[in-house]
Structure 1
Amino acid sequence: MTQYAKFDASDYLDNEETIAEYLSAALEDPNPDVFLAALSDVAKARGITYIAKKAGLGRESLYKTLTPGSKPRYDTIRKLIDALDIKLSISATMNDGYRLSN
């Protein structure tokens, strides 16, 4: 039987551009657990203990925050994003069914 190594995305998140693309792709998914998993991968790539301390969170608290199904508060996610030195941005989508009137 063939043995496969377990894939760990954090092994490949080794530069800012890759991390930005990875998180952007995760945000495209409507399932919030996908984004939490991506944040977890980035935190692992940068060092969970270091990121938890920088965010002002306990290591276990950070793990719980990033667990699928958790409902983290906005301020917790904001602290984590700041600790990861990343910036999220919002852009408009072009939707033919909705137009602003002048």
Structure 2
Amino acid sequence: MSKKLRNHDEVVFEQLLNPEMAKAYLDVALEEYEQDGDLGFFLEALRNVVEARSGMTSLAEKTGLNRQNLYRVLSPEGNPELRTISLILHHLGYRLSVQPIQS
């Protein structure tokens, strides 16, 4: 009996259905941004969480944002406004917060 192999994206998306795993994934992506100043990695991570949870069409319907613009905003070259990121995170069940830097 052979096991069916799953691709990497399927495994990641399955894990991102878990709210704690998705939070940790986004936290790591934000830490990467803090280190190198490249927002693209975080935007790609946020897009992966959206795709795993509900998809862009559902996000567009629930937030009132244009689906095509969401794809553009959540691309590695995207440059979203803070309110857009906040709205997306809110739809996913998260919010932005400020944390003290631990030495």
TM-score (norm 1): 0.78
Q: Which residue of 2 aligns with 1:39?
A: 46
Larger deviation, residues 53-62 vs 38-47: 53-62
Per-residue deviation at 1:6?
4.7
Bigger Rg, structure 1 or 2: 1
Q: Which residue of 1 aligns with 2:95?
A: 87
Indicate if the aligned counterparts of 2:73 and 2:79 stay in contact, CA closer than 8 A. yes
Per-residue deviation at 1:5?
6.2
What amino acid is aligned across from residue 68 of structure 1 in structure 2?
P
Aligned mates of 1:94, 1:84 — CA distance in 2 = 27
Asked whether 1:52 is paired with 2:49, we answer no
What amino acid is aligned across from residue 32 of structure 1 in structure 2?
L
Aligned mates of 2:45, 2:97 — CA distance in 1 = 16
Please list every run of at least 4 consecutive aligned residues from structure 1 whose deviation after the TM superposition is greater than 3 angstroms: none
Larger deviation, residues 56-65 vs 86-95: 86-95
Aligned mates of 2:22, 2:60 — CA distance in 1 = 18
RMSD, aligned α-carbons: 1.8
Aligned mates of 1:54, 1:71 — CA distance in 2 = 21
Per-residue deviation at 1:78?
1.6
The number of residues matched between the two structures is 92
Uncovered stretches (5+) of structure 2, i.e. residues with no partner: none
